[in-house]
Amino acid sequence: MKNKPIEKNNELQQQLIKFASHYPNTAKLRRFIKFNKENPEYQLMTDQIPKSFNKQIRLPNLKIKGSVGKGQWALVPWLAFFDTRISDTATKGFDIVFLFSTKFDYLFLSFNQGWTFYKDYYGTKKGKKKISQVSAYLREKLNSIPKKTEERIDLQSLNNLPKGYELGNIAAFKYDLHHLPNDATILNNIDQLYDCLNELRAKFPNCNFEQIINIGLNASVDVKKKTSPKASKKAVLDFLKQNIDHMLLEEESKPHHTPTIEKTSYVQQQDTPYTPNYLEQEMEKSELGLFGEKLVLKFEKDKVCEKDKTKIEHTSIIHGDGLGYDIKSLDQEGHPLFIEVKTTLGDKNRPFHLSLNEYQFAKTHPQNYLIYRVFKKSNHMNQFGFFKLTTLELLNHCQLSPENFLVTVN
């Protein structure tokens, strides 16, 4: 961005000082001075100061907003800079924000997070822990954080809202309001923190705020803990079910080698004995399978317009899992599309099971049948990928390995 002051009178500095010196910064003053939109301090923060910054900052997708509270004077008034590709609200997302300490001794320019989301989603106590985890994760993850910034800020209040702002701080410049730097320094500091926002977008492409915080929260989760398979897999499944709304599903390319499909069939026994992992099979067929179906169902609904969302159905839940497919969706022309979902916690190269019924349905619906092969992308439990297999690819480019027998006693 590299902003340069176009005026030499330090207009930004003077406006911030003027606001701080006249704002009702005590409970007594807040009771005495009526809150209304005609108040000079209201006008200064919500209109005049944002306009002054807009004159000096040249950025696409920029939104500047100031706030002194809603209906009553805020303990911590703020002025935020949003990249609308990431967020356009202070309640949810990432932004660059000026935060005034409650005693108006200090002003912090902070790379921060939307505390309200954490509070509403997790509750105040748990939300404070979660937002702190994400702040710590991003401080470690982002290389563009300036060296001379504060990891912790003190807004001089025990109130939950200022505390949330403090814990959401990733990096901040601290200014003494009695010795506020000039416009050039302020704009340069905004530049530096905007570099952090740009790096955030680059490191997490196509991720929304909720997906990014889940990556941060799960970064320290060791999914390879040396516990019993039953205990560790149960914990993973519980986590997946509880956080399905925050999972990221992205389409990827198919494996370079021929996928292996273990098909239930009536064929001769193989020479090499094979001992199935029955625990893993049952998990994949039930809870893990249902989790993958819900991911794909959401993915499909997100692709269509609002009026068509009701046409996409979770068939295996509504009609049972004996039809040969899990989800009835729509193709690009609006025609029915039958999707069978196969989910594992392994990577994309791992074989998966296909029943005889599913195999026969695929053969009889070659034009509108797809297998969505869903798999875990990395050690971060909220990142899943998938690739698609058509009936033609299933029949001609996949290795089908018979695994089970149907036994009838004569």
101 within some domain: yes
Check whether residue 56 and residue 159 sit in a common domain: yes
Decide if 222 is inside a domain. no
Bigger pLDDT: 80 vs 321: 80
**Position 269 pLDDT exceeds 60:** no
pLDDT band at 403 (very low <50, low <70, confident <90, very high): low
pLDDT band at 315 (very low <50, low <70, confident <90, very high): very high
Residue 227 has pLDDT above 90, yes or no: no
- Average pLDDT of the chain? 83
pLDDT tens profile 254-268? 887 666 666 554 433
Whether residue 319 is contained in a domain is answered as yes
Predicted confidence at residue 37, as pLDDT, reads 81
Residue 148 CA to residue 30 CA, distance in Å, equals 35
Residues 65 and 208 in one domain: yes
Q: Which of 52, 43, 47 has its CA nearest to residue 3?
A: 52
Question: Which of 150-154, 170-174, 179-183, 235-239 is predicted with the least confidence, judged by mean pLDDT?
Answer: 235-239
CB 380 within 8 A of CB 216: no
Tokens of 8: 């030499």
327 lies in some domain: yes
Q: Which helix (H) or strand (E) holds 13?
A: helix 11-22
Residue pLDDT, tens place only, 88-107 = 888 899 999 999 999 899 99
Confidence band of 377 (pLDDT split at 50, 70, 90): confident
The predicted model gives 395-407 an average pLDDT of: 79
Half-sphere exposure of 244 (CA within 13 A, CB side): 17
Counting the structural domains of the chain, the total is: 2
166 and 34 together in one domain: yes
- Residue 287 and residue 181 share a domain: no
CB 236 within 8 A of CB 345: yes
Q: Is residue 381 part of a domain?
A: yes
What was the pLDDT predicted at 117? 93
- Note whether 19 and 152 are same-domain residues: yes
Average pLDDT, integer, range 235-256? 79
181 shares a domain with 237: no
Whether residue 166 lies inside any domain: the answer is yes
Question: 84-98, 114-128, 130-144, 223-237: which range is least confident on average?
Answer: 223-237
Examine the domain organization and report whether 196 and 245 are in the same domain.
no
Of residues 402, 404, 388, 278, the one with CA closest to residue 327: 388
Q: Is residue 409 part of a domain?
A: no
Domain ends where: 217, 241, 274? 217
Counting residues of the chain whose pLDDT is more than 70, the rounded percentage is 83
pLDDT of 208 over the 80 cut: yes
Which domain range does residue 134 map to?
11-217
* CA 176 – CA 107 distance, rounded (Å): 6
Are residues 73 and 195 both part of a single domain?
Answer: yes
Instruction: Tell me the whole-structure pTM to 2 decimals.
Output: 0.55
